[in-house]
Structures are given as structure tokens and as C-alpha cells.
Amino acid sequence: AQSVAQPEDQVNVAEGNPLTVKCTYSVSGNPYLFWYVQYPNRGLQFLLKYITGDNLVKGSYGFEAEFNKSQTSFHLKKPSALVSDSALYFCAVRSAMDSNYQLIWGAGTKLIIKP
């Protein structure tokens, strides 16, 4: 069965420090991986995706993520956190073998950036 794990319910980081939000996955075949952010009372916004190619993917708002096939991980990173990065972050995956369009969603990680 396909699954996504975000092992941390909450991550606390001081402003200016690097941040990492973890995501591991389990799918059959090659994965398509996505990160989304949700600000309070808003819909989800797309940050970045890995489909194929370079393992390091750069996305919106200075975020990047590294695809690690051996560790089945796709951790979200940013070199220097901003208070405005505080939000709920979701990792999602689907298998390249699947013919449907559905994404499997992680439980979400609340990121809190303290001034």
C-alpha cells in the first residue's frame, strides 16, 4: 500500500536558522513527490515537486527538497527561516505506475518560526 509519513507533528525553529520538515514515503515503482503549504484559513499552495531528474528540487519562497531514493525520503528545507514561513506543511506522493490522479497525503507538520 502507498503511504506518506511526516514523523513530526510540529517543528520549532528560530528565525534565521535553517529548517527541515521531514517526509518519507512508500510506493510501488518511481514516486512523484510534492510539497504544499497551508496558511491559516487558506487553501493549499504548491511549493515544489519531484518527478524526475536532479534530486535537489528548488521551489517557491526559497524552499527546496532533496529526493533520496535509498532512504525513500523527500525532506523540505530552507537555509534561513522567516517568521512568515510559519504554516502547516503537507507532503504528498503518487506512484508513476498509477493510472489515477489521486495523491496520498501526509498528516501534515506545523512549522513554527520564532522571532
Partner 1 sequence: SAVISQKPSRDICQRGTSLTIQCQVDSQVTMMFWYRQQPGQSLTLIATANQGSEATYESGFVIDKFPISRPNLTFSTLTVSNMSPEDSSIYLCSARTGLNTEAFFGQGTRLTVV
Binding site for partner 1 (CB under 8 A): 32, 34, 36, 41-46, 49, 51, 88, 90, 92, 96, 98-103, 105-108, 110
Closest distance of CB 110 from partner 1, Å = 7
Nearest to 84 by CA among 37, 48, 51, 43: 37
Which lies closer to partner 1 via its Cβ, residue 50 or residue 113?
50
Which lies closer to partner 1 via its Cβ, residue 7 or residue 79?
7
Which lies closer to partner 1 via its Cβ, residue 35 or residue 78?
35
Closest distance of CB 102 from partner 1, Å = 6
Closest distance of CB 16 from partner 1, Å = 26
Which lies closer to partner 1 via its Cβ, residue 53 or residue 115?
53
The set of cell numbers assigned to 94 is 503518487
DSSP string for 51-114: SSS-SEEE-GGG-EEEEETTTTEEEEEESS--GGG-EEEEEEEEETT--S-PPEE---EEEEEE
Q: Are strands 56-58 and 64-68 parallel, antiparallel or unpaired?
A: antiparallel
Closest distance of CB 63 from partner 1, Å = 14
Give the C-alpha separation, 15 to 82, whole Å: 5
